[in-house]
Amino acid sequence: MKIIFYISIFFLISNCSFNLVDDHHGVFFLEKKEKKIKVNESNTNDILSVFGEPSTKSTFDNDIWIYIERKITNTHFFGRRKLVVNNVMVLEIDNRGILAKKDFYNVNDMKTLKFDTQRSETLKKRNFIYNFLSSLRQKVNDPMGVRKKKREQGSGN
């Protein structure tokens, strides 16, 4: 009986890896690569050659490109995970394609960011009210759910 117990423990332990497993997402070595581009000198081609396509793009007055690097590792045998790297770089590109502004945030910077709690609460309330009214509007427009059933039947054919 003891031999079966020891064999099962052996298989259990032998299948576990003692190597740390890293999950890395985004641009590798973002902090080092960030030093390769210069404000008012680098253009979009320079940025793309160093970093590749951005994680997120948005257009306001200027283009905003956001690059993200995130690395999580297992710190313990039982699978506890720890955030090791969490870097975000925000690039603002002017209408000529030249880098106008560069902001870099790491894990420590993110801990010190302050959010406007009053505005956040307002947005949560507005979102709840919007969802409630949208649901109510849908029920008024289609009280028996007939349109939804027709759509489902039409898409199934």
Q: DSSP per residue over 34-101, as a string?
A: HTT--TTT-BHHHHHHHH-S-SEEEESSSEEEEEEEEEEEE-STT--EEEEEEEEEEEEE-TTSBEEE
What is the model's pLDDT at position 8?
76
Q: Per residue of the chain (157 residues), what is the pLDDT tens digit?
A: 788 887 777 766 655 555 566 777 888 898 899 999 999 999 999 999 999 998 888 866 668 898 988 888 876 656 677 778 888 898 999 989 999 999 998 877 766 666 566 655 555 555 666 666 666 666 666 656 656 555 555 555 4
What is the model's pLDDT at position 13?
65
What is the model's pLDDT at position 80?
73
What is the model's pLDDT at position 50?
94
What is the model's pLDDT at position 47?
93
What is the model's pLDDT at position 41?
94
* Other CB atoms within 10 A of residue 109 CB: 13
* Phi, psi dihedral angles at 151 (to 5 degrees): -65, -45
What is the model's pLDDT at position 9?
75
What is the model's pLDDT at position 42?
94
What is this structure's pTM? 0.58
